[in-house]
Amino acid sequence: MALENKLGIGNDLELAKQEERLTKQRALELFETGLLDTLEPGTFASLAKIHKYLFQDVYDFAGQRRTANISKGNFRFAPAMYLSAALDAIEAMPQGTFDQIVEKYVEMNVAHPFREGNGRSTRIWLDAILKKELGQVVDWSLIDKEDYLLAMERSPVRDTEIKSLIKGALTDSVDDRQVYMKGIDASYRYEGYAIYPLHEQ
């Protein structure tokens, strides 16, 4: 049974296809309109705005904190009843160095504040912090899907792997459209969405 959606789609596969198509177009708009550069990097408010913009055509809960507990495999994300406190703590984390920024990103992933679409939104949020603080972004197309997923799975206990992967993929091409679009495609591939490549547009 598909997640309740604005499109009235009841089939998981069809929903995934339409979600990818619509949200990738919104991801491109985020970049091309300059909207990303107007957000305050590192805040939950900025992450919520990114999520709302991406998923506005698909879900009523776009940009809204989840009220249910969620898990992936054997990993349980932050309990809904403690989510507000967790987000306040994450927002207060420093973000002046590369290590601090990735640690903040790892904690936001553990919080997983939305019902769906956390990874895709949070990777854009991470790039916004890196761009502001370090003048760099991640070229996600350089990070292998399996390497990334394993590193993120282990990151709440040991974050050295994800730091190493991200550090090795940093680029100064912060305003390069191709880097951004290839990055969005890679980010979506991590989650199993690979039907509508942006970088071919």
For the record, the structure tokens of 182 come out as 């290839």
pTM of the model: 0.97
What would the pLDDT profile of 19-72 be if each residue is shown by its tens digit? 999 999 999 999 999 999 999 999 999 999 999 999 999 999 999 999 999 998
Residue type at 87? L
Residues 6+ apart with CB under 8 A from 184: 24, 27, 28, 140, 198
Average pLDDT, the chain: 96
Q: Pick from 71, 48, 90, 67: which is nearest to 153 by CA?
A: 71
* SS3 of residue 25 by DSSP: helix
For the record, the structure tokens of 198 come out as 């942006």
Does the pLDDT at position 121 exceed 60?
yes
For the record, the structure tokens of 120 come out as 């895709």
Map out the domains of the chain with their CATH numbers. 12-190 (1.10.3290.10)
What would the pLDDT profile of 163-197 be if each residue is shown by its tens digit? 999 999 999 999 999 999 999 999 999 999 999 99
